[in-house]
Each structure stands twice: as structure tokens, then as C-alpha cells.
Structure 1
Amino acid sequence: MGNKNSHIKNKRSSIKKIPEFEKIESEQERQEELLDYYLSTDTGSIDRLHMYHFLKGYIFQGNFSSPIEDIIIEGGCKVLDIGCGPGTWLLDLSNKYENSYFFGVDIKPIFPREIKPNNLEFIEADVTNGLSFRDNEFDLTHADLMGLMFTPEQWDIVLSELIRVTKPGGYIEISDRRNSFVGVGPIYRRLTDSIWASFLKRNIDAKLIYNLDSKFELQPNIGKVHRIEKDLIVGPNGGKIGLVFQDIAVSYFNSDMTCKVVSEEIGISEEEYKNMAEKLAEEFEQTSTECVHVRFWAQKQLMD
């Protein structure tokens, strides 16, 4: 199922620093370096993903919304997570549901290779090249925070593959963040606008996740697509959960890799960028920036 337009194919999985942009010889090389930023595997990024997993579990009161928990508890179920990253979601589930089986796929092998439950397996692969699993193999297929990884065309491929490997009667669930600018301050707005602009240059529509259910419904063998949204206020005005998300956001925007990429996108020096990013926490104290998390889930229709 190769996709000639894929922007995340056949990339190196090694962790490396982004060189100074003026030293990159070609636009293709620059895009490869930027990709390592978008798929960052540094310790800070992994820590943020771990923290973010537990934040989302709290606001949704569970790790998934599909009505399948009783079957997973019973045992023998197979669950697939694509773009699994460090595997936090799967590690949590595989420890809780010891009688079912869990599989994670990611283009970069930052997941644990040896220290993991026996009912959990990780595979290094690019989902845009197609999944290696048989048709109708999984009871639940899942993707989280992939909205800024795939072009609209790639989303069609990914959804098709998730549906293909899901059993009739099984569930497909997509989870992400729907970016809202309600109550946003000028610094956060400027920083996020620059990030969406950088993604758009890779033909990735940051707003597609707003209406992913519409794209989902166009796929064959899919029943009603359910949509669940949970919002929070970033910063102290959002209580404890708002402070946790603030820590994640501030850590991200103050990271060296974000500084390099976003300062260039805005057209300012790294020093100017750092001065701006350092004021984020103070701005969150004065604003009520809304952040909306969304889950889409649907059942694969039983075949006649």
C-alpha cells in the first residue's frame, strides 16, 4: 500500500541533533532534519508523552471510550496501537488486562524492547506503508496524537488499514487534541500559529482533526462514528489539571528543538524566542486558554 506522497517514509530512526539550518545543503535535507523535530525522541519529549497519557486518562476517566472493556477483561482480545511512541498507553493497559494481548507500532523504536509485560509486543514500522497484520485480527485498533503526523491523503490510508485489521464487531478509536483559541493570549497564539504554519508546509492540515469524524464516516464497513470531547483551561485558572497541562506546554515550548524550529518560522532570533517562551507561564495566569481533547470511535460492521 505504498504512498508516494508520504512525508514520513523511510526516515532514519537514530536520535540526532538538528544542525544549524544555514548548513543544510538542500530543502530535502532540511525537511528530513525537521522531521526529527516533529518525531522527537529526546528524554524531555518522552517525559511529556508519559505525563500527557495520564492527564488524558484523567479527563476522560479511562484509557479508551469504545465499549469493549468487558471483553478485554474476559481475555483473549487483541489490541493494536499505531504511533505508540514510548508505549505508555499499551504498558498501562497490558498491566491492567493481563489476559489480553497488546501490540504497538511506531516508526521510531523508543518503546521498551525487553522490560515489558509478556502480553505486549512492539514493532518498528511505518503505518503509511501498510500494516503487516492479517485482515480482521484485532478487537480494538487505536491511534492517539497522530493529527499532526499525516496528510489528508495519508489519513485515508491509515483509517483504511485500521479498519482492515479490525475484526467485524471490533472497534476503531482515534484520540487527539482539537486546538481552540478561546481565551488565548498573544504569546501562546503566536507560538501555536507558527507551528501550524510549519506543518502546513508539509501538507498537514492542523484543523483536519476538528472534522475527522466526517472522513471516518466515508470509510466502508463503518457504523456510527461517536465523538466525545473534554475541555480544560490551561494554567492555574484550570485548577490542578490546568497546571499539569501548563507544565507540558511550557516544557515543550522551552525545549531547544522547538526553539530552533519555531524561531525560524516566526523570523526572530533564538534569544528573542526564548524571552517570549519564558513569559508563557505568566500569560497563562492572566488568561483562560481552552484546550479541547477529542475521541472518535466506531464499530466495524458485521459482515453478512
Structure 2
Amino acid sequence: MPWWFFRRHSRNTARTATSAQPSSGWQPGEIALPRLQGPRRYLQEQPYLLPKDLGEVNRLDFQHYVLRAILHGNYLAPIQQPRRILDVGCGTGQWAFELAQQFPQAEVIGLDLELVKASASPPPNYRFVQGDILHGLPFDNDSFDFVHQRLLFLAIPQAAWPAAVQELARVTAPGGWIELVESSPAPQDLTPSGPATQEFCRLGGALAALRGLDAEGIVLRSLAHYLEKAGLANVHYHPFDVPLGKWGGRLGSLMAMNLHEAWKAISAPTAARFSRSEQEILQLIEQASQEWNEFQTQLHFAVAYGQKPFTR
């Protein structure tokens, strides 16, 4: 489905949860990236592949605005007037800030491994909670009317995805919605593509696979299945493609800039792991970004959402 065809569409209980503990399939310390590699800062005891630093903060905010433009909004699920909203892997918090402003009557919580961007004036109905989906969410059963999770394919190991979505379902209130937005590092999810693009995807995919992350696009194509296995109903799956490069107009240019910076963000660990110079990897990225216009490459995404039944 081309991106321009895609359009936007709608009580906390007393029970205390025994949080699920999704198995990551990756053991800290086995293949951990250095905490500092060159000028970038990486999390050593997490499978998360991208850095956690100011450069990544800026890219994530930029990516947020690009995705919002592509999706014509911040979500697709048919939510109405949610009382509590959770953003898992909230990153800079920008998505959650905007939902807090859109729904001032709701309590909005952003959860992530770290607070990466301190805001001088966050919305009064927003708060940050430190946590890790791989160790269970620190919330009661049936706590949220809307649970959102976006682009964690480089953070949640492939083996942990079913249990992670089960955990999202646990904290979702009956009648509430879960929405997942994902992409993929697999070569078949950047098509058509040239040799430099395919080579970087091969290297990046191999690096991801070493950390138990999905390198083959399995997560992207399984989002609806994960939601259904977690017991959700009214599940919808929307695949869409985003052009990369000037050939795709303004949004194509913006998404190309975003992917270019994301690839640069893992250039140092990629070079270190595969015994190449970082300059060689950066040159490969530049060649790939030039190919995107030549081949009219598109990047595959998907949005899936589902509703927790009132009776299970």
C-alpha cells in the first residue's frame, strides 16, 4: 500500500499484577556494545542497538514529526476519550506530550529505560516512569485505555515479542486499545534497492541478530498475530511504504534524512564488530543514500491495533 493511500481512522483495577518477564533470548554481557564508542553513547546491558545521547534525541524528535505527517496524525486506533494513556519506549516523550495536550482530561505516562530529554514545561497531565518492557511493566492489570508502542524492533529481541505484547495486553483495560508501529532492517523491506543498501542491511542485520533482534522482518509481519495471541479483538493490520529520497517528494526527502542518520548512529559498532574502518561504513551509507533516488527505494512499515475484550 503506498503511503499516500494511508489515512487515519477510534479503570485502573484493584488487582496488582504479577508482571510477565519476557525472555529476551539475549544475555547481557555476551555481545554487549561498549558504553562509549567514539562520540556516541550506547547502553551496555541492553539489547537496544541505537545510541542514547543528544544526537539520537534530535533524530527521534525529527522522526516523530515525519511519521506524524505520513500517518496524518499520532495514532490510528479508534480511541474516544481515554482516561489513561501509556507510551512504551517513549524515547524523547514527544508523542506522549502531544497526546497529553490532545486529551487534557487523561493521565499520560511515558515509559523508557532512561529519561533522555528533560522538558522544562511538560504537560501537567504527563509523567515519566523508568522501566523496561523486558522485565515487565510496573503497572496494575487493566490500567490504561490506550497503550502505544512504536519502533522497538531494534530494542526487543525477536523471541521476546509475544510475551512483550502479552504484557501490553495485561495493563490494557477492557475495551481499551493497543497500537504497534514497526519497521524492519531486512533487505526485503527496502525495495527496490542497490548493492550498497543491500550490503549495509546485511551488516546491520547481522549485528542485530547477534543481540537476538529481528533481522528478517518477522516482527513487522507478525504484529497482528501477536495482538491476536494476546487475546485482543478487532485487530487491524495496515502495511504501508514510505519513499526514500527526493523522488518521493518532501516526505521522501525527510524519511531519507532520518534513515541516513539512524544508519550513521550504528556505524561505529558495525565497523568494530566486522573489523572495518568506520570511514568505510560511512562511505557505504553515503552510497546507499544515493541509490535510494536511483532505484526509487521504499521503506516498509506497518501499524497494527486491537481492542481488549470486555470479557475474556
Instruction: Check whether TM > 0.5.
Output: yes
Structure-2 residue corresponding to 1:18:
37
Aligned partner letter, 1:190: E
Cα distance in 1, alignment partners of residues 214 and 238 from structure 2: 21
Matching of residue 273 in structure 1 with residue 273 in structure 2 = no
* 1:158-204 deviation digits (Å, cap 9, x = unpaired): 11111111111110111112451321121122112211111111222
Structure-1 residue corresponding to 2:259:
249
Superposition pairs for residues 44-83 of structure 1, below 5 Å? Answer: 44-68=55-79, 70-72=80-82, 77-83=83-89
Cα distance in 1, alignment partners of residues 66 and 57 from structure 2: 14
**Structure 1 130/279 Cα, relative in aligned 2: closer, same or farther at 3 Å?**
same
Greater alpha carbon shift after TM alignment, 54-63 vs 178-187: 178-187
Cα distance in 2, alignment partners of residues 266 and 290 from structure 1: 27
RMSD: 2.6
Aligned partner letter, 2:224: D
**Matched positions, count:** 282
**Structure 1 32/170 Cα, relative in aligned 2: closer, same or farther at 3 Å?**
closer
Quick one: which of 193, 198, 205 aligns to 1:189? 198
**Structure 1 136/39 Cα, relative in aligned 2: closer, same or farther at 3 Å?**
same
**Structure 1 233/113 Cα, relative in aligned 2: closer, same or farther at 3 Å?**
closer
Identity within the alignment, %: 24
Matching of residue 93 in structure 1 with residue 75 in structure 2 = no
Structure-2 residue corresponding to 1:28:
none
* 1:265-286 deviation digits (Å, cap 9, x = unpaired): 4442222223222334432331
Quick one: which of 222, 225, 231 aligns to 2:235? 225
1:81 and 1:141 in contact (8 A); partners too: yes
Aligned partner letter, 2:282: K
Structure-2 residue corresponding to 1:26:
none
* 1:117-155 deviation digits (Å, cap 9, x = unpaired): 110010111122111211111100110001221123321
Superposition pairs for residues 115-126 of structure 1, below 5 Å? Answer: 115-126=121-132
Query: TM-score, with normalisation over the residues of structure 2?
Result: 0.82
Aligned partner letter, 2:36: K
Superposition pairs for residues 77-156 of structure 1, below 5 Å? Answer: 77-112=83-118, 115-156=121-162
Structure-1 residue corresponding to 2:12:
none
Structure-2 residue corresponding to 1:297:
305
Query: TM-score, with normalisation over the residues of structure 1?
Result: 0.84
Cα distance in 1, alignment partners of residues 27 and 248 from structure 2: 36
Cα distance in 2, alignment partners of residues 263 and 176 from structure 1: 26
Q: Secondary structure at the match of 1:254?
A: helix
* 1:33-61 deviation digits (Å, cap 9, x = unpaired): 48587241222211111111111111111
Give unmatched runs, 5+ long, in structure 1. 21-30
Q: Secondary structure at the match of 2:124?
A: coil
Matching of residue 264 in structure 1 with residue 272 in structure 2 = yes
Cα distance in 2, alignment partners of residues 299 and 44 from structure 1: 36
Matching of residue 237 in structure 1 with residue 256 in structure 2 = no
1:246 and 1:281 in contact (8 A); partners too: yes
Structure-2 residue corresponding to 1:24:
none
Once the two structures are TM-superposed, the CA of residue 216 in structure 1 deviates from its matched residue by 2.2
**Structure 1 183/3 Cα, relative in aligned 2: closer, same or farther at 3 Å?**
closer
Once the two structures are TM-superposed, the CA of residue 254 in structure 1 deviates from its matched residue by 3.3
Give unmatched runs, 5+ long, in structure 2. 1-19
2:48 and 2:154 in contact (8 A); partners too: no
1:60 and 1:230 in contact (8 A); partners too: no
Cα distance in 2, alignment partners of residues 176 and 3 from structure 1: 19
